[in-house]
Amino acid sequence: MNASCFPLIAAGALACLGAGCLGLSPKPDPTRYFVLGTLPPPAAPNPRPVSVAVRRVAVPAYLEKRWLATREGHQIHYAADDEWAEDLAQGIRRVLAANLAALLGPVPIPASDTPPAPAFELLVCIEQFEVDTTGQAVLAAQWEISGANSTAPLRAGQFRQTRQDPAAAADPSAAVQLQSDLLAELSRTLAPILRALGP
C-alpha cells in the first residue's frame, strides 16, 4: 500500500467517528440547575409601602462555588450534577428584594426618569446556608439596616433558623425549597422592623 494513503485512511476514520459510524451517541448532560424561590405577590397593594434596597449580600467562601453544598459534620460535600443557576449571593439578594417587596408593598414607579432613592438599605452577611445529610437546612446571618443617606446603621441583628425535611437529604429540589423557606422567614423577620422605621 502506498504510504501516502495512510493520512487519507486516518482522516476517514476520524470523520466516521465524528459522524457516529460506530453507533456511539453523545451522552446527555446530567447537570440540573436550581434557583431559590420567592414569596407570592400580595393579593392587594399595600397603602403604605416601604422602599428598601438590598445593597449587598455576602456569603462565606465555601458557598461561592456553583455546586449545591451538603454539610456532614465538619465536612462540606458538593453535588456533582446539581448547580445553582445563578451566583448564590446574587440569588439570595434577588429573593430578599422580591420577598420584602411582597411584604412591604411595591413602591409605585414615578413618571420621572430618575426614581427616588430608597428609604432604607439592607446589608446581609450569610454565615451558614446549606442542608445537612439528615435533611436539616440552616440559615445563619447577620443583617444591618441603614438610612439611604446615612452610613450609621439604624438597626442590626442576627438571624438563625432551621427547617427539617428528611427528603431534602437526597432530593436537591426539596433542599432548595427548605432554603427558600428560610429566606422567607428572614424576610418576615425584617419586614416589621423596616415598617416600624418607615414614615
Give the confidence band of 43 by pLDDT, cuts at 50, 70, 90. Answer: confident
- Provide CB contacts within 8 A for 162, sequence distance 6+: 136, 137, 138, 139, 182
Query: Cell for 12?
Result: 476517514
Q: Is the pLDDT of residue 6 over 90?
A: no
- What's residue 137's pLDDT? 98
What pTM, to 2 d.p., does this model score? 0.82
Q: Angle formed by the axes of helices 172-197 and 88-104, to 10°?
A: 50
The answer to whether the CB of 180 falls within 8 A of the CB of 37 is yes
Q: Is the pLDDT of residue 48 over 50?
A: yes
58: three-class secondary structure by DSSP: strand
Q: Is the pLDDT of residue 199 over 90?
A: no
Give the confidence band of 9 by pLDDT, cuts at 50, 70, 90. Answer: very low
- What's residue 109's pLDDT? 53
Query: Which residue ranges form the domains of the chain, and what is each CATH number?
Result: 31-197 (3.40.50.10610)
Give the confidence band of 132 by pLDDT, cuts at 50, 70, 90. Answer: very high
- More reliable by pLDDT, 107 or 169: 169
Give the confidence band of 7 by pLDDT, cuts at 50, 70, 90. Answer: very low
Q: Is the pLDDT of residue 163 over 70?
A: yes
Q: Is the pLDDT of residue 175 over 90?
A: yes
Query: Cell for 18?
Result: 465524528
- From CA 62, how far away is CA 51, in angstroms rounded? 32
